[in-house]
Chain A
Amino acid sequence: MLKYYFKIWLRFTLSAFQIAFVSRVGAFLFTFAKLMRFGFFMLIVVLIVTQTQSLAGYSLNQSLVFFLTYNVIDTLTQLLFRDVYRFREHIISGYFDYILIKPINPLFKILFGGADPLDLIVLVPYIGLLILFITQLSVTVVTFVSFMLLLINAFLISAAFHIVVLALGILTTEIDHAIMIYRDITSMARFPVDIYSEPLRGFITFIIPVGVMMTFPPKALFGLLAPQFMLVSGVIGIGFFVVSLKLWRYALTQYTSASS
C-alpha cells in the first residue's frame, strides 16, 4: 500500500513540477521573491538581536537557528501541501466529485497532490544555513535526536492544521483566508515564542501549538527543553492529528456536491 501511494505521489509531483515550469519567468520571479523575503527577515533578526544584545536570553546564533527552523518547517509544509491552497476551487467548481471517485484516498490527493518545486529550490539554502549554524553550537547526539523527533512532530501538527482547513473548506467553502490565518499565526514563531508575554505565550504554545511546532525543536537542540515537554509535544501532535482526521471524516458526510 505504501509503495502504491509513493508511486502515485511521484506521478503527482512530477506533473506539478512540469506545470510550475511552464512559465520559467514566473517561476524565477516567485523564487526570487521568496528568497528576498527570507533575506529581509534574516536581516531583521540580526538587527534586532544586535541592538537588544540578546533575544529573550538567546544569542544571535541561537536566534538564527529558531528563524531557520521556522523557515524549514514552513517551506517543507508548503512544498508538500501546496494543493490545499487550490481546494476551494475544487469545491466550488464541483471538481471534488471527480477526486472522490478515484481509487485513492481523497485526502491523500488533496494534501499531497501538487508539490511546489519552487519551495524545493528555496529549501536547499535554508537547510544548508540551518546545518551551518547548528554546527557552531555544542550539540549532543541526544539533543540532536530530540530536535529531529520534534521536527517530525511539527510536520504532524502542520498536517493536522491543513486537514482542519480542508474540512472547513467542505463545510463553509472558505479556504483561502483560513490557510493564510494559519500561516500568519505560525509566522509568530520566526522568533522564539519565549519573547511574547503571557497569556499570549501560553496560547500560542499549547492552544494553537505554534510554539510546540517551531520553538520546541531548537530548544531541545540547545538542551533547554525539559523531557516532560517532549512528551507533552508528542501527545499534542498525535492528539491534534487524530482530531483533524475525525473532523475531515465528519466534513465528508456533510459534502453535498452542490456545485456539480
Chain B
Amino acid sequence: MLIKNTWDEALVYRLNFILWRVRVVIRFLITYFLWSSIYSGNQQFFGYSREMMLTYVLMVYLVSNFVFATRTQNIGSEINEGKLTNYLLKPFNYFISLGARDVSDKLLNFGCTVFEFAIIYLLFRPPFFFQENLGLIILAVVAFVGAVGVYFCISVLLGFLGFWTSEIWATRFIFIILLDFVAGNFFPIDILPKILSQILMLTPFPYMFYFPVKVYLGQLTTSATIQGFGVMAVWVFLLTKAMFLVWRKGLKVYSAEGR
C-alpha cells in the first residue's frame, strides 16, 4: 500500500517527474560526453582505457539512480514542520514506512533508468565492458546492496538533524557535493593522488558508487576487495547503530512544532 501510494504521489505532477528524469539523463550525458571527448584519441589516461572509463561512467549512472533514489531527503522538513507526528500515530514502525517509500522511489527511478540506458546504448553504442565472471557479478551485487544501506543511513541521519535544527538543507547540500567528488559519481576516485584516494577509502563515501562499480569491473585485487567489503560492513554497522541511537535521542526532544 505504501509503495503504491508513493508511486501515485510521484506521478501526480507528471511534468515535474518527466523533467526530473530529463535532468538525470542530461547530467549523465554531460559526464559521458566529457570523458568520451577526453578519450577521443583512444589513449590511456589515469590507468583507464576508453572502454573502462565509459563503462565506469555508465555503471555509475545505473548504480547511482538506484542508490540515490530516496524519499529520506524529506525527513528533516517533516520533523521541522511537525509532520512526523502523522507517522508516529500510525500503527506501524516508522522505519518500515521509510523503507517502503524508499523501495518505491528506487523501483520507479530504476525502471526509468533501465529504459533510458537502453535508449542511450542504442543511440551512442558506447564501448561497454560486460563482466563475464559470475563471481565478480555476485560480489558487485552484494556491494551494491551495501551501497544502498550506507546511503540510506547517512541520508536518514542528515534528516534527523531536523530534531535539533532547522538548518537541514545546508548539510544536505554539502553531502550532495561530496557524493559527486569523493563518492565517485563524477569520476573514479583512483584518478586522484594516491594518498588522497587511500584516505577516502576509509570514509563511507566511496562505498556508495565507486566500490560496487570497481568490483564489477574486476579492477580490484583480492586483498583490496576483502578490505573494501570489511570497511563497508563496519560503516553499515556503525551507521545503522547511529541511526537508531539518534532516532531515540531525537524523539525525546521532538515537540511536534508546527502542528
Q: Is the CB of A23 closer than 8 A to any CB of chain B?
A: yes
A197 to B27, CA, bound (A): 17
Distance of A238 from chain B, by nearest CB (Å): 27
A243 to B46, CA, bound (A): 45
Inter-subunit contact B26/A185 (CB<8 Å): yes
Having A29-B170, A195-B38, one finds 5 other A-B pairs with CB under 8 Å, namely A23-B166, A44-B186, A181-B23, A188-B33, A188-B34
Q: Is the CB of A51 closer than 8 A to any CB of chain B?
A: yes
Q: Is the CB of B191 closer than 8 A to any CB of chain A?
A: yes
Seen from chain A, the residues whose Cβ lies within 8 Å of a Cβ on chain B are: 23, 25-26, 29-30, 32-33, 36-37, 40, 43-44, 47-48, 51-52, 55-56, 172, 174, 176-178, 180-181, 184-185, 187-188, 191, 195-197, 200
Distance of A176 from chain B, by nearest CB (Å): 8
Q: Is the CB of B93 closer than 8 A to any CB of chain A?
A: no
Residues 47-94 of B at the A interface (beta carbon under 8 Å): none
Distance of A175 from chain B, by nearest CB (Å): 10
Q: Which of A184, A185, A195 contacts B34 (CB 8 A)?
A: A195
A44 to B19, CA, bound (A): 28
Seen from chain B, the residues whose Cβ lies within 8 Å of a Cβ on chain A are: 15-16, 19-20, 22-23, 26-27, 30, 33-34, 36-38, 40, 43, 45-46, 165-167, 169-171, 173-174, 177, 180-181, 186-187, 191-192
A36 to B180, CA, bound (A): 11
A40 to B36, CA, bound (A): 20
Residues of A near B37 (CB, < 8 A) are 56, 195-197
B interface, over-half SS: helix
Residues of B near A172 (CB, < 8 A) are 15
Q: Can you name the residue of chain A whose Cβ is closest to the Cβ of B174?
A: A33
Inter-subunit contact B30/A188 (CB<8 Å): yes
| Cβ-closest 4 pairs across A and B | A29-B170, A177-B19, A40-B181, A195-B37
Q: Can you name the residue of chain A whose Cβ is closest to the Cβ of B15?
A: A174
Q: Which of A29, A40, A195, A200 contacts B173 (CB 8 A)?
A: A29
Q: Contacts A177-B19, A195-B38, A197-B40 known; A32 to B174 CB distance under 8 Å?
A: yes
Residues of A near B30 (CB, < 8 A) are 184-185, 187-188
Inter-subunit contact B38/A52 (CB<8 Å): yes
Distance of A97 from chain B, by nearest CB (Å): 22
A interface, over-half SS: helix
Residues of A near B40 (CB, < 8 A) are 197
Inter-subunit contact B171/A29 (CB<8 Å): yes
Distance of B112 from chain A, by nearest CB (Å): 14
Residues of B near A185 (CB, < 8 A) are 26, 30
Residues of B near A184 (CB, < 8 A) are 23, 26-27, 30
Chosen A-B contacts, 23 in total, with CB atoms closer than 8 Å, are A26-B170, A30-B170, A30-B173, A32-B174, A33-B174, A36-B177, A37-B177, A40-B177, A44-B187, A47-B46, A47-B191, A172-B15, A174-B16, A176-B16, A177-B19, A181-B19, A181-B22, A184-B27, A184-B30, A191-B34, A195-B34, A197-B36, A197-B37
A177 to B165, CA, bound (A): 27
Q: Which of A29, A181, A191 contacts B174 (CB 8 A)?
A: A29
Residues of B near A23 (CB, < 8 A) are 166-167
A114 to B71, CA, bound (A): 29
Residues of B near A40 (CB, < 8 A) are 177, 180-181
Q: Can you name the residue of chain B whose Cβ is closest to the Cβ of A27?
A: B170
Inter-subunit contact A200/B191 (CB<8 Å): no
Q: Can you name the residue of chain B whose Cβ is closest to the Cβ of A195?
A: B37
A185 to B177, CA, bound (A): 18
A26 to B38, CA, bound (A): 37
A43 to B38, CA, bound (A): 16
Inter-subunit contact B46/A51 (CB<8 Å): yes
A23 to B38, CA, bound (A): 42
Residues of B near A55 (CB, < 8 A) are 38
A55 to B39, CA, bound (A): 11
